Amino acid sequence: MTTMFDKRMTADAVVASLSDGMTIGIGGWATRRKPMALIRAILRSDLKDLTIVSYGGPDVGMLCAAGKVKKLVFAFVSLDHYPLDPHFRAARQTGAIEVLELDEGMFHWGLRAAAMDLPFLPTRIGIGTDIITQPGFRMVKSPYDDGEELVAMPALRLDAALIHAHRGDAKGNLLTLSPDPFFDELFTRAAPKVYASVEQLVPTADLDIEANARFALVERARITGVVEAPLGAHPTGAAPDYQIDLKALKTYVDSAASPEAWADYRARFVDVSDEAYAAAIGGRDAAAALPRPVY
């Protein structure tokens, strides 16, 4: 059980705090700093009928393959070197999931509106496209002299958010050391419950928050629980600790070839302990030695 002073949890305890039908935001970006250890824990659970809000990568694809997703709110679902996640593609093409497809900027604006506790934010994004012909969009007229008609991007409100950071302590202080933090701060502010996996839990003094303030994206009060999960973003990257594992992503892509291939992938990389997962991908030293990907 977490307290305001000790928020340490296991991945399974995080999943146990979630429930069917929730709207869950997933931080990171495509193949970078996705909370994959927490995603794998969801895959092993009985959770279902989830609405997932994500700048998607293998997090979304795996949840679709496992039948966990009722609705997906997304700007893209990409593996970068593989433009579309194949499990997402299958779910989208067969109509297995409901979708709200957004421009990247609209997605950002929806998160920001929720983070600011606003019902919507006005934008020009989407005007003249089919995006705003989807149900739920409305226009708003500027109250100023210009009288411009704008899209009212509704807030993307979340029930819970999952993110991955590099270092953390038992109190929920986090350091995100990657070059680009993306939108994790907005995910944490858009949700009443936020669970963070971290590569390493350390004493608070070792975080040296004063010296590393630019890496501390959110106040610890926003964090509900923190999970120590070495390789917790793999096969996505958590630079500078480790880069994207292109070989592992290829293995994942191949798992969409057939139901049998997906079952084999699950048996090897999902329905296993963290230690067995690390061994299956070659160990932590191998992950740390991964080369920087070339785009």
Kindly indicate the confidence band of residue 153, based on its pLDDT and cuts at 50, 70 and 90: very high
Chain mean position to CA 156: 14
pLDDT digits (tens, 9 = 90+) for 69-128: 999 999 999 999 999 999 999 999 999 999 999 999 999 999 999 999 999 999 999 999
- Give residue 2's pLDDT: 60
Q: For the residues of 60-124, what is the DSSP string, one character each?
A: HHHHHHTT-EEEEEEEEE--SSSSS-HHHHHHHHHT-SEEEE--HHHHHHHHHHHHTT-SEEEES
Mean pLDDT of the chain: 96
pLDDT at 294: 86
Residue 72 is predicted with a pLDDT of 98
* Cβ atoms within 10 Å, residue 178: 21
Q: How far is CA 14 from CA 18, 38, 72, 114, 247, in A?
A: 7, 8, 21, 22, 29
Options 3.40.1080.10, 3.40.50.2300, 3.40.50.970, 3.40.50.720; CATH of 11-103+157-288: 3.40.1080.10
The Cβ of residue 112 has, within 10 Å, a number of other Cβ atoms equal to: 19
pLDDT, average across residues 21-36? 98
> Looking at residue 3, what is its pLDDT?
66
Residue 254 — pLDDT band, cuts 50, 70, 90?
very high
Average pLDDT on 242-255 reads: 97
How do residues 179-206 score in pLDDT, each as one tens digit? 888 999 999 999 999 999 999 999 999 9
Question: From residue 227, how far is each of 14, 23, 65 by CA, in Å?
Answer: 8, 20, 25
pLDDT at position 4 = 65
